[in-house]
A and B are shown apart, each in its own frame.
Chain A
Amino acid sequence: MECSRVRHILLSEAEGDLSEELRGQLRDHLEKCRSCSLQFQALSEQSELLRSLPRHEAPPAFLENVRRRVEAPRQSLFEHIRACLPAVMGSRPLFRFAATAAVAIVVLTSARHVLRESSVEHGVLVIPTPPAPATPGTPSAPSDAFVDNRTSDDRTGMDESNTRHSTQAGERAASVPFADRPSVSLPSSAGGANQPGVLPGPAPGNMRQPTEQETANRAAESSRLGNVAPRRPLLQKQAAPLPSAETTGRMQAGKTSQSPAKEGPTESKSFARGGSSAATGIAPTSAPPAARPGLADNSVQSRPSAEVGSRQKQPMPALAPPIPSPASQPSPLSPGARTHEVSLTLTLDPPDNSVRGELKSPAASQQRMKDSRDLSFSKAVRPSQSVLSPGQDAQAPTLEEPSKPATGADLLRQRMSSIRSAVLQAKGTIVSDKPDTGSTAPSVLVLEIPAQNYPAFIAQLRTFGGTELKSGEHAPFPPDSIVRVTVTLSLPRAEKK
């Protein structure tokens, strides 16, 4: 018998199921072959070893547990799920990966949400929202308009109230060539000193230092504006390359828009400077009568520190009937945005000397501050378009000798720029304007205001004079839509030439 065959039947022998004949042959071989004998011995020992394994008894409470489980009601839902769990978790690495991914998603989502909220509250971190599709040409209009109006002219001296952000010496020097431009415009945005190369120094003729109250207000305002700061470079980029009707303004706008990156960091600083120049502007109380309306108008939307202006003028009745406006000029609208048409007539209040004395009292000033704060626009709103542009403030208007008497055309110019700044504050755009400062024909402004800011804008508009709705309505508009307002400016009859 061969060893290989013996190895084969060894197991059967060890199992005890070998025939007598084979068992005899096997014994003969094992006596002769030591290797096969050792193998057989090992198998026998193994069998003995297994047989001798101690027998473990069931735990004492085994019967009770079995009885309890047998008599218990059928599997509850929980037990059923638990029974199914092994199948679910069959591929444990996959299960763990899925669980980790789920936890990560939850954490990241909530963290993003929390960060976004806190950024709105504190202005620390703003997750940029994608810009709305910009209408070519639309954003440029206000930009240019403001560049134009930034220059000072004969009116400038009267707008003490606006000059919170008014220019400093260097800017005024730069703006001299445009001295015949409307002047009172006062963008409410910060960043007045952002024009590259023109570092505003202390305003000349600084007549008094800002009071504590003014400083506090400015600080509050600056922190408010901090929330929207990161959006500005983008918006300016939009505004810069667009065509403009007024070349001088375009030059300045382009110049301004080249430094978007600088704007954020310098913003608060420049804001403070603007404040000091505002203080400068407040002082001249001997402004000519024509200056008063400008003061009142602009103070509404300008800084609280400049609140010498009055809202008491608001309830004054319109002196002239509305003048029918020419048809609004067509302009491209933002694609996809719903637009509502509103047409109204704004009859400008005449300059009112009687208000002046009243407004100089501290109580009135406080009241104005309060009113102005009430008018401030919602910060939570993220407008689809915004034309806030710090650079525009840099060249903003401007102290000028308040010597010339106000005329109807002057009043019109003031109001136009006041409206422009109101539009800016409402984060709207000026689609077209007709600055016919030389004529007495009614000026027509076509504005596009985000629906969220529309009520506040209208409220502000009413501080400039009597408004009368010609078409459309002030009904609440859907939040994401745009209200296109056609404003026809008309002078009070007494002021008309």
Chain B
Amino acid sequence: MSQAEMGAIQREDSSDVAAFISGNRAALDRLVLRHKDRIFNLCYRLLGDKDDAEECAQETFVKVFRSIGDFRLESSFSTWLYTIAVNTCKNRRNSADYRFWKRILRFTHDHGDEEGEGPAEIEIPDNAPSPLAQLAQREQEVMLQSAINSLPYDQRTVIILRHVEELPYDEISRITGYNLGTLKSKLSRARIQLQKKLRGA
């Protein structure tokens, strides 16, 4: 995403937030439609489960719109959105409920979540080289996602924000609350850890 695109999105966000605060319901729809996929993808990568990701993404938007009066436009709307999404996913992951059901369903659902319902097919464009390549790509994604899931949550968060969402350091720093040094060291450890996991896999 280029700087210009980012700037354009930020401007639209600001006007829509203002419109929503002044009572324009359509602004809500525009904000949701503009960010839902990124937030959903972030939640999915953070949690590794589609249902959890949908729940957390919805909850993120609900929280945002309920507390939008507190939004001071000091940072971009998307940064605020990311911040709430990361915290929501963290809370969900820490909840005993989540851990309990994850333990129960690990051997039954994980497989289906990752490759069963064909979300990868939707994602893979038509010009994909071959079914074999699709399969290889899907397997690669499953492998990578499980390696990400095995990381500690803070490392997982920074590596996703940095290398999946490709956010700049300063925005990641605002989202996570880490200063730049902490962020870089966490990122380094996350990458070494991930390398070990992938090599082991």
Contacts and interface: CB of A to CB of B under 8 A. Distances in A.
Interface string A1-43: 0000000000110110100000000000000000000000011
Interface residues of A toward B: which range?
20 to 34
Per DSSP, chain A at the interface is helix
A53 B32 contact: no
Interface in A313-367: none
A67 B98 CA distance: 25
Nearest to B36: A58
A62 B144 contact: no
B123 A56 contact: yes
B191 A67 contact: no
B66 interface: yes
A51 B119 CA distance: 18
Given A15-B187, A49-B140, A57-B40, A62 B194 contact: no
B28 A50 contact: no
Given A58-B54, A92-B96, A46 B195 contact: yes
A5 B119 CA distance: 43
Interface in B159-195: 159-160, 162-164, 166, 169, 184, 187-188, 191-192, 194-195
Interface in A343-394: none
Nearest to A7: B192
A17 B172 CA distance: 15
Contacts of B184: 12, 15
B107 interface: no
A58 B40 contact: yes
B29 interface: yes
Contacts of B29: 63, 67
Interface stretch (A83-91, A467-475, A489-497): A83-91
Contacts of A89: 96-97
A312 interface: no
B139 interface: no
A67 B28 contact: yes
B9 interface: no
A476 interface: no
Interface residues of B toward A: which range?
35 or more
A37 B93 CA distance: 38
Interface string A104-119: 0000000000000000
B163 A51 contact: yes
Nearest to A54: B123
Given A50-B163, A70-B65, A63 B97 contact: no
B73 interface: no
B58 A62 contact: yes
B57 A58 contact: yes
A277 B41 CA distance: 96
Contact of A66 (B58, B95, B145): B58
Interface string A45-78: 0110111011111110011011101100000000
A57 to B, nearest CB: 5
B128 to A, nearest CB: 11
A211 B192 CA distance: 100
B96 A55 contact: no
B96 A69 contact: no
Contacts of A62: 32, 36, 40, 54, 57-58
A15 B166 CA distance: 11
4 smallest CB-CB distances across A and B, nearest first, come from A86-B95, A50-B163, A58-B40, A54-B123
